Structure 1
Amino acid sequence: MSVLKRPIITEKVTAQGGQGKYAFEVTLAANKVEIKKAIEKTFGVNVKSVHTMRCIGKSKTRTSGGKFITGKTSTYKKAIITVAEGELIDIYGEA
């Protein structure tokens, strides 16, 4: 099973791509060393630094048919990767 789940593509992360920073959703049990090795193996780049954060799930309530439905969003772990200067990660798969 891979440490990396998916790239996070938002307006804020896309703007940081010019600075060599990329965001990925990773497994909750992954540590910085595992994340660094997975990025270097998958994309063939040199990773300068890895910052991680846990995004805690929030409680959500909505009404449906006059009843309240309560649930919770998933907790996930996000990793912000900084690659070495001059290197790029091609998330979109463009040639």
Structure 2
Amino acid sequence: MDQVRYPVLTEKTIRLLEKNQYSFDVDINSSKRELKKWIELFFKVKIVNINSHRLPRKRKKVGIMTGYTIRYKRIIIKLQSGYSIPLFSDN
């Protein structure tokens, strides 16, 4: 499924991992219901809550050309206790 782009790992999202909350960048046109269904099936977890927001676009300048970065929607999901998503491999 191409709707979930990648997990977001920043200082804030790493602190959210302690509260069993995970953050992902997703396609801007995807809905919460679709994302909840897909994440529950793919990772075999139970989701309690989903929050989403759109990130502000940033202006980029390359030479004399100006444009904007690609926009994504970011979701923060909260899992039931006892469930987790393996973000790091155990190599």
Into which bin does the TM-score normalised by the smaller protein fall? 0.7 to 0.9
Q: 5+ unaligned residues in a row in structure 1: which ranges?
A: none
**2:86 paired with 1:94:** no
Name the structure where strand makes up a greater proportion of residues. 1
Q: Which residue does 2:77 correspond to in 1?
A: 81
Query: Aligned Cα RMSD in Å?
Result: 1.7
Aligned length: 91
- Over the matched positions of the two proteins, sequence identity in percent amounts to 31
* Residue 34 of structure 1, CA deviation: 0.6
* Residue 69 of structure 1, CA deviation: 4.1
Q: 5+ unaligned residues in a row in structure 2: which ranges?
A: none
Structure 1 segments of 4+ aligned residues over 3 angstroms from their partners: none
Provide the C-alpha distance between the structure 2 equivalents of 1:94 and 1:32, rounded to a whole number of angstroms. Answer: 30
TM-score (norm 1): 0.84
Indicate the SS of the match to 1:80.
strand
TM-score (norm 2): 0.87
